Amino acid sequence: MAILDSNVKQDTNFEARQAAWHQTLDTMHGETEIIRLGGGKASQEKQLKRGKMLARQRIEALCDPGTFIEWGIWVGHGMYEEYRGAPAGGVVTGTGMIEGREVMVVANDATVKAGAWFPITCKKILRAQEMALENRLPIVYLVDSAGVFLPLQDEIFPDREHFGRVFYNNARLSAEGIFQMAAVMGSCVAGGAYLPIMSDESHIVEGTGSIFLAGSHLVKAAIGEQIDNQELGGAVVQCDISGVVDHRHPDDASCLAKIRSQFSQLAATPRAPFARREPRPPLHPAEEIFGIVPVDRSRPYDVRDLLARLMDGSELDEFKATHGQTLVCGTGWIDGWAVGIVANQRSIVPRRTGTGPRDKELQIGGVIYSDSAAKGARFVEVCNQKGIPLIFIQDVTGFMVGSRAERGGIIKDGAKMVNAVANSVVPKITLFVGNSYGAGNYAMCGKAYGARFVYAWPSAAIAVMGGEQASKTLLGIQLKNRGDGVSEDEKKNLLDRIQKRYSDAMDPRYAASRLWVDDIIDPRQTREILSRSLACASLNDRLPEFKTGVLQT
């Protein structure tokens, strides 16, 4: 297997890029620390005084030390400001290990509106269940929620992907034999009561845990009965008398310890037969990634320099290396897992158009041409035939446009790639490194194309088209609608406003807040996160037959 030759420190902009990256990461780290405060220090102290652990403390006690990887921390960022926000969507989610077993964890953060569900909270929990179902991951729910956030009930209650879908997924997960454990560690009210009881096994904490279809206030209003919440549906009532809950515990710590002990008894599940070997580190440190990726997303770089810092031994066995060169495809290993790589090439590359040594033209980096689309489709088919998981590394400005591309059948070749990616049955993991524009997002396995896990670096930008092109297009439309008589100053002010709005929407935090990506990750952690994602994906050994639909030739 070929070693990727990469000596990037000679680049005069290397250190400047590194400095810019560190500044960006420092800013984002500071913002995530604020998000981790949930509803604020006062709300956290109030919860602790009640003898309850905070959501992330519960997860720390539940999982094996150092194994929990939180995703979705940016969910809800910048949303619901009229209600003082919903940090992390009011729920903490991620994958960890319990007694050496990979699991999905969902923990309500009761410091955020008493753990009430915003629309984005529901979407985040549904995504966690989707991951559990696709990867056959056992799932633990740590329940501490006041139910639906009533001011927004019309956006969360009745539709297909709303609140009720969570309990629908409960039923499907259980029927599929995917183990679900729930612990009622605070409020669990109304329709939310079905989540722990539709799980396979349930726990409740005395004094703080309660579960009922209607709380004491609603009971009094509905039937005139006066009763407090513990008498109505506390641990003793629901465990000893009704038998609704299976186990009760004196405090959070003992509840979580019991769950850990029960997971040690869980039968091992068969794994997918993906190739695995002893891991080897790359030949180059991950820190050097910061000197490779330009601050300006329009600037070129060689994606092989990135791969040299991600792949075991910095090795890649390229597929059609001299053909369709704006897409780099090949097989290799990441932390001992065999993977297929589909990565956009951002450097400008020559393409041979004839037989003579000078008969070449330049292709624009980051653009998918007909030859690279056909190559990508073919490679995805080959990886499915071999049973090799796929890693898509996106930095794509779209498919090539213009008369030459259209006459060459760019739509036909693009459709081949989209078809192959859509029908791929091996695990797909997508990493947004830079641009992700237009149909390039789809062909490179964006969120709509069934990636098991979707991550972004802080350098990512997701949009229909680039900011400059989109802003000028929108400006032209608005000026046409306004007619003549618009001054140059008005045009400039209008363009500035459009560009700012579009730029804000291209920020990776905007994408992560809406779950277009599962999380924004530090590039230095990419290998670890990809490896853990592959380990989770390997729990599902049920790969259907790979086949595509009708393809134009």
The whole-chain average pLDDT of the chain stands at 92
Residues comprising the chain, all counted = 553
CA distances from 350 to 325, 326, 394, 422 (A): 8, 10, 21, 30
Could you read off the pLDDT of 331-371 as tens digits, one per residue? Answer: 999 999 999 999 999 987 776 666 665 556 778 889 999 99
CB 147 within 8 A of CB 189: yes
Could you read off the pLDDT of 62-103 as tens digits, one per residue? Answer: 999 999 999 999 999 999 999 999 999 999 999 999 999 999
Count the helix, strand and coil residues of the chain and give each as a percent rounded to the nearest 5: 45, 20, 35
What is the structure's pLDDT at 429?
A: 98
What is the structure's pLDDT at 365?
A: 86
The pTM of the full predicted model, rounded to 2 decimals, is 0.93
What is the structure's pLDDT at 489?
A: 77
Quick check: 459 pLDDT over 80? yes
pLDDT level of residue 23 (50, 70, 90 thresholds): very high
Distance CA 6, CA 9 (A): 9
pLDDT level of residue 287 (50, 70, 90 thresholds): very high
Could you read off the pLDDT of 367-424 as tens digits, one per residue? Answer: 999 999 999 999 999 999 999 999 999 999 999 989 999 999 999 999 999 999 999 9
In this structure, the strands spanning 101-108 and 91-98 are antiparallel
Nearest to 447 by CA among 60, 127, 233: 127
Nearest to 14 by CA among 285, 213, 388: 285
Distance CA 487, CA 432 (A): 40
CA distances from 170 to 34, 90, 106, 119, 253 (A): 32, 20, 13, 19, 25
What is the structure's pLDDT at 136?
A: 97
Could you read off the pLDDT of 524-551 as tens digits, one per residue? Answer: 999 999 999 999 999 999 989 999 988 8
What is the structure's pLDDT at 9?
A: 80
What is the structure's pLDDT at 192?
A: 83
What is the structure's pLDDT at 549?
A: 86
Task: Phi first, then psi: give them for residue 207, nearest 5 degrees.
Answer: 85, -35
CA distances from 64 to 60, 132, 259, 265, 315 (A): 8, 19, 12, 15, 32
Residue 163 corresponds to which tokens in the numbers above?
């609140």
